[in-house]
């Protein structure tokens, strides 16, 4: 391109439709009030906690004995419960759309253990890079008790299927070298459509960052995710911090390090890796925006591949 | 104090002042927010986040409400405002996509460039918008973002060369608008 890029960019931004929606200030004011109330409540709760702790310490100091808590286990509240509530009924026939799976496998606890070197990182890389031999199925929950299923994802090669219950909809993204297509099915409105996008949103790597811009980081299950994880591991954005186990399966617990671009924003990402297959089986992020992913690696059977086609139920209109 | 037509609640003095600010400068601020955030919905969220901060700190801000709002807007964007929650990035994926957008036709190269802007890291994006759309000097940009003029210079240079690379790779066949040739 030998044209003046700056002028074109300037004209492009000038052309953005940018009317401020009605009630915008009021929404911001309401949010600010909520923020103020939450902050006040947190401060009050912290003060109450400090007071209560002082009282408990005072009582313990005069008690003849004090029971010792069980060591090695994380606090119960820090560990997600192993049940999930059933998503709300949507009034759509079960056969009309793919349903999120409800069953949760037994998941390991992750007590702090011996910290070891991440010598197995290369084997994790090898495992995730051969992931096209599998379909990765991911369920993403709100953090802590996994009471709310946010979205389910089915992924195979260049296909990325997302299913959600509220509102009932599904979206299949198919990536090609210079474009990607989005097939969207709205089960509530009984419509569907396909959109083409000219760019595939490849994760770019900036030489000053460990991996590409966090804004563009693919999610677990996104076809671009294995390559992204490998590049994160290679540059030290994750490290193995402990070993644990579940039902006889050894588990590696890995977390992000200061080299990860998310780390500087206070984001702590944890991942569990099956030490026999070296495939990630769970990951989670703590905090108010926390989530919990359960990752299952499945063989690409005909039935699963048919699900990835995102069939449109009869009678739905093309939007 | 007058009532809000949506909620019936009264509009406070600072609320009215902010509304007036948006009435005069809202379009410009929204364009900046969309360019920084990459989409209309994220741009609205970004501008609203900046407005929240303005309202919370209005007493301290004093008479320079617009300056504070602009600084906040650009700094939120440059500091990876959207990174506050990775989960947040997941949810928009399944949001209803825009209809009728087909990359193979009717895409203006100027619109495509604005989309390519979203491929830049947040700080470079903020610098590019400030330097080449707001047309601020390196020193003025540095003052807004709280960094050195040298950082602005390198970020602007890297941002534009990356944008040029992306444009060369992905936009060679798009029509150049008559006004720019």
Residue A42 lies in a domain: no
Q: Which DSSP string do the residues of A267-302 spell out, in sequence order?
A: --EEEEEETTT--EEEEEE-STT-EEEEEEEE---H
Instruction: State the Cα–Cα distance between residues A249 and A245, nearest whole angstrom.
Output: 5
Residue A241 lies in a domain: yes
**Residue A153's domain is classified under what CATH number?**
2.50.20.10
For residue A182, pLDDT over 70 is answered with yes
Choose the weakest-confidence range: A45-49, B72-76, B170-174: A45-49
Residue A18 lies in a domain: no
pLDDT in the model for residue A127: 75
For residue A16, pLDDT over 50 is answered with yes
Residue A27 lies in a domain: no
Cross-chain residue pair B90–A291, CB shorter than 8 Å: yes
* Domain ranges, residue A232: 111-310
pLDDT in the model for residue A100: 45
* Total domains present in chain A: 1
Average pLDDT over chain A, rounded to an integer: 67
Cross-chain residue pair A29–B129, CB shorter than 8 Å: no
Stretch B116-142: mean pLDDT: 88
Please indicate if any CB of chain B lies within 8 Å of the CB of A2.
no
Q: Quick: pLDDT tens for A208-255.
A: 446 544 445 566 656 667 777 777 777 777 887 877 777 777 888 888
- Note which residues in 75-104 of chain B have CB less than 8 A from chain A: 79-80, 82-91, 93-94, 96-99, 101-104
Q: Which site among B37, B83, B175 would you substitute to test the A interface, given the most A Cβ atoms closer than 10 Å to its Cβ?
A: B83
Contact A175, A161 (CB under 8 A): no
Distances (CA, A) of A248 to A251, A274, A296: 9, 11, 17
Residue A212 lies in a domain: yes
Cross-chain residue pair B35–A13, CB shorter than 8 Å: yes
Instruction: State the Cα–Cα distance between residues A117 and B39, nearest whole angstrom.
Output: 42
Average pLDDT over chain B, rounded to an integer: 73
Listing from the earlier edge strand, what are the strands of the sheet with A238-246?
A: A238-246, A249-256, A269-274, A280-285, A291-298, A135-142, A149-156, A159-165, A168-175, A180-186, A191-197, A317-318
Stretch A54-72: mean pLDDT: 44
Q: What's the predicted TM-score (pTM) here?
A: 0.46
Smallest Cβ–Cβ distance between A13 and the set B29, B109, B133 belongs to: B133
pLDDT band with cut points at 50, 70 and 90 for residue A18: confident
Stretch B136-154: mean pLDDT: 87
Residue A318 lies in a domain: no
pLDDT in the model for residue B127: 92
Structural domains present in chain B: 7-97 (1.10.1740), 101-175 (1.10.10.10)
Residue A255 lies in a domain: yes
More confident residue, A218 or A303: A303
ipTM: 0.75
Q: Quick: pLDDT tens for B33-59.
A: 988 888 787 788 888 888 888 887 777
Please indicate if any CB of chain A lies within 8 Å of the CB of B147.
no
Residue A213's CB is within 10 A of a number of other CB atoms, namely: 22
Choose the weakest-confidence range: A181-185, A279-283, B60-64, B145-149: B60-64
Residue A75 lies in a domain: no
Question: With pLDDT > 90 as the criterion, what percentage of chain A qualifies?
Answer: 2
Choose the weakest-confidence range: A87-91, A104-108, B21-25: A87-91
Q: Quick: pLDDT tens for A278-301.
A: 788 888 887 656 778 888 888 888
Q: Which residues of B touch A10 (CB under 8 A)?
A: 132-133, 135
Instruction: Report H helices in B57-148.
Output: 58-61, 65-78, 86-90, 109-117, 122-128, 138-145
More confident residue, A232 or A108: A232
């Amino acid at each position: 391109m030998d044209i003046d890029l700056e002028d074109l960019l300037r004209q492009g931004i000038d052309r953005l439709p940018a009317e401020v929606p009605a009630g915008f200030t009021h929404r911001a004011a309401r949010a600010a009030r909520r923020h103020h109330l939450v902050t006040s409540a947190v401060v009050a709760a912290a003060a109450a906690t400090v007071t209560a702790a002082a009282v408990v310490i005072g009582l313990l100091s005069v008690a003849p004995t004090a029971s010792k808590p069980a060591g090695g286990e994380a606090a119960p509240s820090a560990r997600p419960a192993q049940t999930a509530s059933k998503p709300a009924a949507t009034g759509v026939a079960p056969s009309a759309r793919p349903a999120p799976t409800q069953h949760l496998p037994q998941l390991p606890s992750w007590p702090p253990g011996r910290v070891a070197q991440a010598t197995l990182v290369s084997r994790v890389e090898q495992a995730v890079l051969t992931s096209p031999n599998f379909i990765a199925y991911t369920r993403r929950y709100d953090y802590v008790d996994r009471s709310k299923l946010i979205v389910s994802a089915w992924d195979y090669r260049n296909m990325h299927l997302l299913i959600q219950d509220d509102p009932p909809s599904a979206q299949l993204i198919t990536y090609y070298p210079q474009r990607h297509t989005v097939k969207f099915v709205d089960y509530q409105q009984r419509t569907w459509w396909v959109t083409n996008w000219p760019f595939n949103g490849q994760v770019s790597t900036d030489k000053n960052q460990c991996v590409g811009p966090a804004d563009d980081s693919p999610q677990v299950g996104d076809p671009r995710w294995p390559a992204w994880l490998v590049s994160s591991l290679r540059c030290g954005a994750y490290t193995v911090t402990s070993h644990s186990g579940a039902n006889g399966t050894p588990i590696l617990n890995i977390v992000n390090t200061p080299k990860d671009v998310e780390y500087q924003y206070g984001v702590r990402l944890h991942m569990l890796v099956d030490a026999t297959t070296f495939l990630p089986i769970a990951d989670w992020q703590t905090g108010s925006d926390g989530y919990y992913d359960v990752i299952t690696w499945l063989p690409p059977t005909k039935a699963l591949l048919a699900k990835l086609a995102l069939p449109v139920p009869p009678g739905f209109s093309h939007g | 104090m007058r009532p809000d037509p949506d909620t019936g609640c009264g509009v406070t003095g600072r609320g009215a002042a902010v509304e007036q600010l948006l009435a005069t400068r809202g379009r410009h601020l929204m364009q900046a927010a969309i360019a920084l955030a990459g989409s209309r919905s994220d741009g609205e969220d970004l501008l609203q986040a900046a407005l929240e901060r303005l309202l919370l700190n209005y007493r301290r801000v004093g008479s320079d409400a617009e300056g504070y709002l602009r600084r906040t807007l650009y700094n939120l964007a440059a500091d990876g405002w959207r990174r506050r929650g990775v989960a947040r990035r997941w949810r928009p994926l399944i949001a209803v996509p825009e209809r009728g957008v087909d990359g193979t036709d009717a895409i203006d190269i100027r619109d495509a460039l604005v989309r390519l802007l979203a491929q830049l890291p947040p700080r470079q994006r903020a610098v590019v918008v400030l330097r080449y759309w707001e047309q601020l000097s390196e020193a003025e940009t540095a003052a807004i973002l709280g960094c050195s003029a040298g950082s602005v210079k390198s970020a602007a240079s890297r941002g534009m060369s990356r944008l040029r690379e992306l444009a060369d790779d992905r936009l060679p066949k798009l029509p150049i608008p008559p006004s720019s040739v």
